Amino acid sequence: MALIVQKYGGTSMGNPERIKNVARRVLETQSAGHKVVTVVSAMSGVTDSLIKLARDVTAKPAGREMDMLLATGEQTSIALLAMALQNLGAKAVSLTGAQAGIVTDGVHTKAKIFNITPKQIHAHLDGGAIVIVAGFQGQTAAGEITTLGRGGSDLTAIALTAALKADKCEIYTDVDGVYTCDPRVVPDACKVDSICYEEMLEMASSGSKVMQSRSVEFANKFNVLFEVRSSFNHNQGTIVKTESPGMEDVVIRGVSIERNQAKVTLAGVPDQPGVAAKIFNALATDNVVVDVIVQTAPVDGRTDISFTTNKDELERADAALQVVAKNIGARGITQKAGVAKLSVVGIGMRSHSGVAAKLFDLLAAGGFNIQMISTSEIKIAVILDEDTIAEAAQAVHAGFGLAGDK
Amino acid sequence: MALIVQKYGGTSMGNPERIKNVARRVLETQSAGHKVVTVVSAMSGVTDSLIKLARDVTAKPAGREMDMLLATGEQTSIALLAMALQNLGAKAVSLTGAQAGIVTDGVHTKAKIFNITPKQIHAHLDGGAIVIVAGFQGQTAAGEITTLGRGGSDLTAIALTAALKADKCEIYTDVDGVYTCDPRVVPDACKVDSICYEEMLEMASSGSKVMQSRSVEFANKFNVLFEVRSSFNHNQGTIVKTESPGMEDVVIRGVSIERNQAKVTLAGVPDQPGVAAKIFNALATDNVVVDVIVQTAPVDGRTDISFTTNKDELERADAALQVVAKNIGARGITQKAGVAKLSVVGIGMRSHSGVAAKLFDLLAAGGFNIQMISTSEIKIAVILDEDTIAEAAQAVHAGFGLAGDK
């Protein structure tokens, strides 16, 4: 008898029929002889409706009240799933984050889990019940309701897996697992059987929407093995785990693309210590999230600094930079939306040379102009015209031999 | 500086605009120099939507899970009202029933309040905040979420008024207060300035929909004075309080009508001890709520027993009676829907004779046929044809001189 933690996202819980489907899957697992703890998200659309209600009442909702409001979404889901399971004759009990013993800090809307005291979960499991826990939420030691921010339900599942010392963690979603590239962009993309945390993190931060980086980091930290799989079929998913021997034999695990990027260049920036700090502090102060940063080698005591950001943040970035550009004596600011990022990811890169050269060759052969380059130990990212990004992804995916024989 | 408890119902909280309106009213009260605790219901329609969701998942939702589900309705309301108040610059904090210290028994979906430990409420009030408490809900000593059943938010407000030793309790609703009769039926009905608990109880149990009996009983038990008034205007409402000298001078406080009733008669029932008990035990077992009961004087060792019930319960009543009628040897069952109840209520009846006679005279003069009669110390109720109930109410209302000079 294993203890299995399952997590079902908002799409899987999207309506009463889907909730019944989830109930059948959860019961199957218990009937196979396992103890089951199920973490669920709010029904898809519910969180957005709640946010809209809040916005209709105030432009700036306080974090504490936002958490009070949003926590109702998951609470609704757990009650409905418990009912659906009971309707199938199963013994099931729902627990809010607070009742499940999930204690967080007091940073509303993006709280961090302090610790989990799963006394009630254990008691209900020992009583033979399927335990359904509200994802995305917890409470402070003082009893205030908190939420964990984006990707919070995945985090709940992974943290519970660690706290309960569960044997397995299954993250159910609306895709079959992690693919070598988005199948809507590259039709012959393949599902990846297993991937290590570092690769998963790079994929996540490169636009692969399967999971938020934060949950993967947490899993990495506590060494929680988990499987990403679909709640709509019974296919094997992708195992996400610590690096194991042989994994490095695969040079490239996947190709990620991220659209809606914008490129900003400060030209003629004085080549002095502290200048870059001034620029990016100004952006950080105005909450502009910067992705790729590139600085050219200085010529005549001046350099160009470019960075990318989400297209939606371009206006804010520009406003912040107008002031700082004057202060530091830069010659000008240019900006360009309509770019996208293509990343190739793989821990195999560490022991294989020539991956970057091969990527640039493939792009050159296709006539794709590289506008910026950024590399990490296990990732190479390039900025391309957004118009050509799908075509480029197909060429790179094929060039690295990632295509399946589907 | 007074401590005032206000309660706003679902219609008052019906949409973001109305929630903002409630926020303005609450803030007005605080700005007038008072401490304010506000109890709110779920936005109108929300509880029904949640019940529908539950029914889509299972025909028989368990009480515990139903409470987990329904409690989200009020939790949504408190968060939104707190935001709306903060948007006006006020200091406000929302508390769930559990956080407000409302401890109940474990009878899910109709829990009773055990006690209230308003430590958090006092702390927030002392800090200058308006405290917003979720109505209708509490938690057991073991931390299970419970709901209080119909009229639960009124009950929360009245119980909090008692526990906080508040100076005033205001129940805001979509009507101006208690009227001498339903103004949709009797256009010249008047608002009653004050009414005693007993009269309010008889009005409530006679079809006046302003408040559930349960909350009035609770207020009576703990001697909580409260005012029923409208959240859509600033008119004085109706004060509900303990009987005071002079109140008996008014013979009839009001006229209530209740439609959708049905009349059932068991004919030729043996006139023996225990027979009535058998009949009404059978009905109680099948959860048929019986209202007026009348038994005729026996003739030749047999009697007729009639009772009224809600039209919707007629089928269940009939099924229950078929068995018991055979057992006790009754001669037959007749039933008739399409009747309604008219009640005149007033504590003045206790010291004024001839009220019943006057009522029967008024009805006879109008040609209304009385089908059943039931009396209490402060109420006389008659069953009439439903078709004639509005006309009868107008005649009785006028005959007792209740009409206003509006």
Which of the pair, B251 or A40, is modelled with greater confidence? A40
Residue B161 has pLDDT above 90, yes or no: yes
**Which tokens go with B39?**
């109890």
pLDDT score, position B211: 85
Buried b (16+ CB within 10 A) or exposed e, B321-353: beebbeebebeeeebbeebbbbbbbbbbbeeee
Compute the nearest-CA separation of A312 from chain B (Å): 26
pLDDT score, position B399: 95
Q: Which residue range is the domain that position A334 belongs to? A: 255-399
Q: Is residue B120 part of a domain?
A: yes
Q: Is residue A134 part of a domain?
A: yes
Last residue of a domain, one of A174, A189, A224: A174
pLDDT score, position A351: 85
Q: Is residue A248 part of a domain?
A: no
| A31 in the same domain as A168 | yes
Provide the pairing of β-strand B194-196 with B145-147. Answer: unpaired
Partner residue opposite A58 with nearest CB, options B59, B87, B99: B87
Residues of B in contact with A143 (CB under 8 A): 99
Buried b (16+ CB within 10 A) or exposed e, A377-392: ebbbbbbbebebbbeb
Partner residue opposite A16 with nearest CB, options B20, B56, B82: B56
- Let me know: does B74 contact B43? Beta carbons within 8 Å: no
Q: Is residue B78 part of a domain?
A: yes
Between A and B, how many residue pairs show a Cβ–Cβ distance under 8 A?
107
Tally the domains of chain A.
2
Residue A406 has pLDDT above 50, yes or no: no
Q: Summarize the confidence of residues A209-228 as an average pLDDT.
A: 91
Residue A405 has pLDDT above 90, yes or no: no
Q: Say whether residue A20 is in contact with chain B using an 8 A CB cutoff.
A: yes
ipTM: 0.86
Of A405, A391, A404, nearest to A362 (Cα)? A391
pLDDT score, position A85: 98
Tell me the CATH number at A262.
3.30.2130.10
**Which tokens go with B187?**
């256009």
Which of A 163-222 lie inside 8 A of B, CB atoms?
Answer: none
Q: Is residue B145 part of a domain?
A: yes
- C-alpha–C-alpha distance, residues A80 and A102, integer Å: 21
Bridge partners of B302, per DSSP, are B270, B299
- C-alpha–C-alpha distance, residues B392 and B186, integer Å: 10
State the virtual CA torsion across A194, A199, A201, A203 in degrees, nearest 10.
-90
Q: Is residue A245 part of a domain?
A: no
Residues of A in contact with B59 (CB under 8 A): 87
Tell me the CATH number at B51.
3.40.1160.10
Compute the nearest-CA separation of B109 from chain A (Å): 14
Partner residue opposite A80 with nearest CB, options B16, B57, B75: B57
Bridge partners of B35, per DSSP, are B3
pLDDT score, position B394: 96
Strand extents, DSSP E, A57-143: 92-95, 102-104, 113-116, 130-134, 137-139
Of A179, A102, A180, nearest to A144 (Cα)? A102
Last residue of a domain, one of A133, A158, A174: A174
- Let me know: does A160 contact A37? Beta carbons within 8 Å: yes
Q: For residue A250, how many other CB atoms are within 10 A of its CB?
A: 19
| A260 in the same domain as A134 | no
- Contact between chains at A68 and B82 (C-beta distance less than 8 A): yes
- Let me know: does A140 contact A146? Beta carbons within 8 Å: yes
pTM confidence score: 0.87
CA distances from A329 to A277, A278, A302, A332 (A): 14, 12, 10, 9
Of A240, A154, A135, nearest to A197 (Cα)? A240
Q: Is residue B66 part of a domain?
A: yes
Provide the pairing of β-strand A332-345 with A254-270. Answer: antiparallel
pLDDT score, position A286: 87
- C-alpha–C-alpha distance, residues A199 and A247, integer Å: 11
Our CA angle for A52, A55, A60, nearest 5°, is 145
Q: Is residue A229 part of a domain?
A: no
Residue in chain A nearest B94 by alpha carbon: A65
Residues of B in contact with A62 (CB under 8 A): 82-83, 86
Provide the pairing of β-strand B379-385 with B372-376. Answer: antiparallel
Last residue of a domain, one of A174, A207, A240: A174
Residue listed under structure tokens 């989400």 = A310
Residue A245 has pLDDT above 90, yes or no: no
- Contact between chains at A83 and B96 (C-beta distance less than 8 A): no
**Which tokens go with A304?**
């160009």
| A133 in the same domain as A267 | no
pLDDT score, position B403: 85
Compute the nearest-CA separation of A71 from chain B (Å): 8
Percent of chain B with pLDDT over 70: 100
pLDDT range class, residue A248, cuts 50, 70, 90: confident
Which of B76, B95, B140 to mutate to probe the A interface, most A CBs <10 Å? Answer: B76
